Amino acid sequence: MSMITKLRVITIDVTGTLIAYKGELGDYYCMAAKAVGLPCPDYKRMHEGFKLAYTEMAKKHPCFGFAEKIPNIVWWKTCVRDSFVRAGYDYDEETFDKIFRRIYSTFGSSAPYTIFPDSQPFLRWLRGKGVIVGIVSNAEYRYQDVILPALGLHKGSEWDFGVFSGLEGVEKPDQRMYEIALERAGNIAPGEALHIGDSMRKDYLPAKSVGMHALLLDRFKTPDAQNWRKSGAIVLPNLVAVQDWLSSQQKDT
């Protein structure tokens, strides 16, 4: 019996699994600054500043400020301002507003992202097999409402339901994300569900902890993949390989 015949729902991560960022964060911050007549910020400093600012914001106000009902744009404005300050750029309010509006608009569109060529065919293949497809992502509402549809990943044709941290108030690796997914799929038994992602900590381990099947994608040949395999995880290079794996006869049936 092939694996696909044993599954009723497959959940899948977004960034690094279905889509990826185009270029570097600094590219977009630089373009925004140049658009208002300022010199381009230092890419490396900008990237490091953003990492620190984002980590701090996610710690203080998790799930994009869900519990405190912080508006999405306010959460990001605080984060982006702190990113610039940490990188050594402290603009006046009017200048920063112009820069931020461009950055917020850009990252709320499909512009900074690219979809892997195997993503849409794979999701459609799953749904054609009668499998329920869910998106499980540490992302804010714009992924669901704007970004995924703009990239050709539509609810109803490529996926059936989403579990987004900014809308749920929990985030991976909290296993509650996966429990919500099983509930949303129609209270499917964990043993009839598979999760696909690219992080051992955020995807594989929490999905397995609730009793789901799980596998990892290694699209970028990460050094971590060797340890993933050693720990017993199924690691595949892309969704074409996942489709082949799901269709093949499994020995452990």
| 25-107 fold | DNA polymerase; domain 1 (1.10.150)
pLDDT in tens, 80-103: 999 999 999 999 999 999 999 999
**Cα–Cα distance measured from residue 41 to residue 231, given in angstroms and rounded to the nearest whole number:** 42
10, β-bridge pairs? 133, 194
pLDDT in tens, 182-218: 999 999 999 999 999 999 999 999 999 999 999 999 9
Q: CB-based burial of residue 27 (10 Å sphere; 0-12 exposed, 13-18 middle, 19+ buried)?
A: middle
DSSP 219-252: TT--THHHHHHHTT--EESSHHHHHHHHHSBPTT
Residue 252 has pLDDT above 60, yes or no: no
Asked if 17 and 207 count as a contact pair (C-beta separation under 8 A), the reply is no
**pTM of the shown model:** 0.93
**Cα–Cα distance measured from residue 50 to residue 90, given in angstroms and rounded to the nearest whole number:** 14
Reported CATH class of domain 3-21+114-247:
alpha beta
* Domain ranges in the chain with CATH number 3.40.50.1000: 3-21+114-247
| Residue recorded with tokens 């082949």 | 244
* Domain ranges in the chain with CATH number 1.10.150.720: 25-107
